[in-house]
Chain A
């Protein structure tokens, strides 16, 4: 299964301070290990929320808000996309990652898989609707 790990932002990541060389070194070793284990599909760090935007549509009205955003508990500093056997394995890798960083908090969220929508799981009309939508996307893509 695929699991998305979201590392919570903290004051340092929001300040945009680059990690210390020692931390970079430790992280490098860790990422090498996860890569080598064949379980890390992708990972990246995010710029501080000061460089981000929020887009909101409500009651037909669009609002775009510039960062920074204050509620740092809801902010994300980096992500990692795992391909693992189960959630427990992702928890173990995340634990190791946080130990390597020192401290921090990650949220792990399983990603929907095609097999979550195995034949028969979705009602036929929904499958049709999805297919029509996909087809339209295809055609638009083709035109672009």
Chain B
């Protein structure tokens, strides 16, 4: 921009380089020093050096390589210094440790030739189960997403010092627990991958629930989760569930513009203006879903829960009008999902899908079966759905009681008002009926 000074230009260019390079930089350094906190510090040192030198020298031709070389040099300096002091204290123990570590590193390198990616290791480490979920989320956004502490704080509506502390503690935990910087294999792998996917989906949903008037950083979380998901899909392309999650996020993100009315009220899926759905994201989502299904088939594995949820989202995405929705297929997907991960929410959604596919009576049968479960007696979504189905069957008096019950169970004011309004409508319909 013509109004910018050359120095400001360089600073903005450095910001852009940093955004592109920092995750790879931290990941590469972490493999070298086997410590995420130290790796991040070294990467920051390299950034400071760039900020000092590049305005005068210009941006080097390969900025990523320059940052890595600078950081590595500092790493070696530090390790040497560290070794000198350590020697004085616990010479033998430490030497053994580092010997074991370097031996392990070699084994790792040999094993990891097929994956061979530091970034993937960094993702698994940031989402390690020794950390709380909140810590995993913050660390992932910081180390791989490259978000600043301030940005994370704004996105999660938390004070900045809280996030700063969370990050420091998380990194300390990784160091203290000597969490290995590796891509897990064998029995561990599935669970560890689930943790990574869970973190990405949490970030996505946090952004998805953002409302107008929120800090602009909140909806930005959706983009961030999608970006990280796409990166992960490139790194672990043989994992069906990674593609499943990406498909789910792409398709959900395609509805972003349609899911709120011009006045900011939420619009339900079936009432959304489908012309506003983002067809590019839908295409990407459908392609990712195909990948998920192809990988699962090739490995003789059943569809995972993200792929199944994406398949349901895809049924909606393919229908140009709500009436064209393939409810039968959706019923099948919910059935598979219920088997894989039984939950009342899944059952309830299946009941709704059943009612669209075979009529309200079929849905009601399943809802009543769910309601028979004593643990779900006070499950607030249940009477709402039941009321809805009863209205469709013309049983307004019973429906009214259900809506009133639902209203008494919900804690959300807006929802309560809506439910009471529907109860009143049932009254009117009941008295109008002969």
Contact = CB atoms under 8 A, between A and B. Distances in A.
Interface of A: 35-39, 41-42, 81, 83, 85-86, 88-89, 91-93, 99, 114-115, 118-119, 122, 124, 127, 131, 134-135, 137-138, 141-142
Interface string B227-240: 11111001100000
B19 A85 contact: yes
A89 B273 contact: no
Contact of A41 (B264, B275, B280, B321): B280
Interface of B: 12-13, 15-17, 19-20, 61, 212, 216, 219, 223, 226-231, 234-235, 256-257, 260, 262-264, 273-276, 280, 284, 320-321
B102 to A, nearest CB: 29
B275 A92 contact: no
Q: Which 4 pairs show the lowest CB-CB distances between chains A and B?
A: A38-B230, A114-B257, A38-B227, A88-B16
Contacts of B235: 36
Contacts of A115: 216, 219
A114 B320 CA distance: 20
A138 B257 contact: no
A134 B275 contact: yes
A118 B212 contact: yes
A36 B219 contact: no
Given A42-B280, A91-B13, A137-B275, 4 more contacts: A36-B231, A37-B227, A114-B256, A141-B321
B15 A38 contact: no
Given A138-B275, A142-B321, A89 B212 contact: no
A36 B232 CA distance: 8
Contacts of B61: 99
12 contacts: A37-B231, A38-B231, A38-B234, A83-B223, A85-B19, A88-B15, A89-B19, A93-B20, A115-B219, A119-B262, A137-B275, A138-B321
A124 B263 CA distance: 9
B234 A35 contact: yes
B13 A92 contact: yes
B274 to A, nearest CB: 7
Determine which residue in B19, B61, B219 has the highest number of CB atoms from chain A within 10 A of its CB, and name it. B19
Contacts of B16: 86, 88-89, 91-92
B68 to A, nearest CB: 15
Contact of A92 (B17, B229, B257): B17
B134 to A, nearest CB: 24
A61 B276 CA distance: 32
Nearest to B64: A96
B321 A88 contact: no
A83 B262 contact: no
B271 to A, nearest CB: 12
Contacts of B13: 88, 91-92
Contacts of A134: 273, 275-276
Nearest to A142: B321
